[in-house]
Structure 1
Amino acid sequence: MFIISLTYSGPFEDIDRLIPEHNAFLDKHYESGSFIASGRKNPRTGGIIIANAASKSELEEIIKEDPFYRHQVANYEIAEFIPSKYNENFKLFIKES
């Protein structure tokens, strides 16, 4: 499982213009099961995506589809973690190894 932290590096007018395409990117990966949750940081400096992918390299390929990445208006930090404790309702997202 991964936490992707996006930090905006471009002007807000570019970010705002790309939001519809970014939302379509998110929707595609929610449908595939790769993304679990996402949202803006507060204050609005970027966003967070919680993802479930087979590997960090797979996730890096997914990120390359993001319009924010393609237009170079955000930087990405990926942290991998192994959930060892979680709410029972979250169990369906856990892939046993």
Structure 2
Amino acid sequence: MFVVTLKFAGNKAAAPHLMEGHNAWIRKGFEDGVFLLTGSLQSAAGNAGLGGAVLAHGISRTEIEARVAADPFVAEQVVSAEILEIAPGRLDERLAFLKG
């Protein structure tokens, strides 16, 4: 399982022009059954605008790296991506499908 953070970077101003492609990238992740959750990163004060995050599963590190690189926001340096891999250990039974 992977947690991907997408934090705004130097080319943040290009975000509005790339939003349609970014949303299509998100839609494809859900359609492919890879993305479980996407959302905005919140500051300590509860404000959005830091970037976003993705929870993904069912693919390899190589596959998630390729998928993240295909995000127009990543490709155009609107965001910088960090991919964190989690090897599930103890899980609530509602998340048992994540333990592979």
Alignment root-mean-square deviation, CA: 1.6
Structure 1: tracts of 5 or more residues without a match: none
2:91 is aligned with 1:67: no
Structure 2: tracts of 5 or more residues without a match: 44-48
Letter in 2 for 1:74: V
Aligned to 1:8: 8
**What's the CA shift for 1:57?**
1.1
- Tell me the distance in 2 between the aligned counterparts of 1:12 and 1:54: 29
Report sequence identity in percent. 32
**What's the CA shift for 1:47?**
0.8
Moved over 2 A (4+): 10-13, 85-92
State TM-score, norm by structure 2. Answer: 0.82
Matches within 5 A, 1:9-48: 9-43=9-43, 44-48=49-53
Aligned residues of 1:2 and 1:53 also touching (Cα < 8 A): no
What secondary structure is seen at the aligned counterpart in 1 of 2:42?
A: coil
Letter in 2 for 1:5: T
